[in-house]
């Protein structure tokens, strides 16, 4: 597994921070945050099938992979911050390995079992599925990029640097990890094994939870974050303005400031 590992620049015993990327992107989405927490060790790994990590050939769970990274780096407990797929993985770690999680910062989702009912999101998923069935890489990327700007803007409204980075990561994930059968047809990757019943277990999470949403994200993503914050005993929901699914990229200073304050309040 590939990862960024930034050692703390001071000797104060602050809790390590593990940054978990979203689906179809990779650890590079956390580049603005690598230098934003100099008081603590920061780790940003690539999930299986993403970035520099290998593809799966047998059943696995993303939460277990995170714990394996922590074991390899001799980290007992960490603050887990994740966006979208990474946010769901962070919650799964808190549910399945509660002794390894000190706090959660979850963006763009609620748990690893998000609920989608909004017409904009459902239409995007339908078109995404059609693009996969047709083997149309450009159409797949085009639909994926909609989540970067959200339902209230267009790609032209995005910072060109953010737009270019997200598209680059998505294309490299798709093409770099694409496997085909002998006839040349794409072979779907081995999906992670799910952690079931997550929503019913959220009230048992015993650590602070911050659902940190981009205010311009799709309604379903916002609602999943709010629900997580309402169900978690020590949950809070905040929104970062002028950002959609990746507030850490669109508003990196505000994202870092908000997370820093959350960690300060909880003495982590």
Whole-angstrom Cα distance, residue 192 to residue 98? 20
Which of 153, 155, 134 has the alpha carbon at shortest distance from 215?
A: 153
pLDDT digits (tens, 9 = 90+) for 51-80: 777 777 778 899 999 999 999 999 999 999
How many CB atoms are located within 10 Å of the residue 108 CB? Answer: 29
H helices of the chain, in order, are 62-72, 85-96, 119-134, 137-149, 160-176, 198-201, 219-231, 247-250, 252-265
pTM above 0.85, yes or no: yes
DSSP 77: -
Whole-angstrom Cα distance, residue 170 to residue 167? 5
Helix (H, G, I), strand (E, B) or coil at 189: coil
DSSP state letters, 206-264: -S-EEEEEETTS-HHHHHHHHHHHHHSTTEEEEEETT-SS-HHHHSHHHHHHHHHHHHH
Confidence of residue 184 (pLDDT cuts 50, 70, 90): low
DSSP 178: -
- pLDDT(14) > 60: yes
pLDDT digits (tens, 9 = 90+) for 190-239: 788 899 999 999 999 999 999 999 999 999 999 999 999 999 999 999 99
pLDDT digits (tens, 9 = 90+) for 135-167: 788 999 999 999 999 999 999 999 999 999 999
């Amino acid at each position: 597994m590939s990862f960024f590992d930034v050692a703390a620049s001071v000797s104060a015993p602050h809790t390590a921070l593990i940054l978990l990327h979203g689906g179809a992107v990779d650890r590079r989405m956390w580049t603005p945050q690598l230098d934003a927490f100099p008081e603590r060790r920061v780790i940003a790994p690539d999930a299986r099938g993403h970035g520099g990590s290998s593809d799966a050939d047998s059943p696995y769970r993303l939460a277990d992979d995170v714990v394996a990274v922590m074991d390899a780096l001799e980290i007992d407990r960490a603050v887990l911050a994740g966006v979208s797929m990474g946010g769901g993985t962070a919650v799964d770690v808190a549910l399945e390995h509660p002794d390894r999680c000190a706090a959660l910062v979850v963006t763009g989702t609620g748990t690893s079992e998000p609920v989608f009912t909004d017409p904009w999101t459902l239409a995007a998923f339908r078109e995404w599925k059609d693009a996969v069935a047709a083997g149309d890489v450009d159409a797949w990327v085009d639909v994926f990029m909609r989540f970067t700007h959200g339902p209230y803007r267009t790609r032209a409204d995005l910072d060109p640097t953010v737009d270019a980075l997200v598209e680059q990561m998505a294309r490299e994930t798709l093409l770099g990890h694409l496997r085909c059968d002998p006839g040349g047809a794409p072979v779907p990757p081995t999906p992670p094994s799910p952690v079931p019943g997550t929503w019913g277990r959220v009230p048992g999470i015993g650590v602070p939870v911050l659902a940190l949403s981009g205010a311009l994200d799709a309604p379903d993503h916002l609602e999943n974050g709010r629900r997580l914050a309402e169900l978690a005993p020590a949950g809070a929901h905040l929104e970062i303005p002028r950002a959609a699914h990746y507030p850490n990229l669109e508003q990196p200073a505000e994202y870092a400031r908000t997370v820093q304050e959350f960690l300060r309040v909880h003495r982590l």
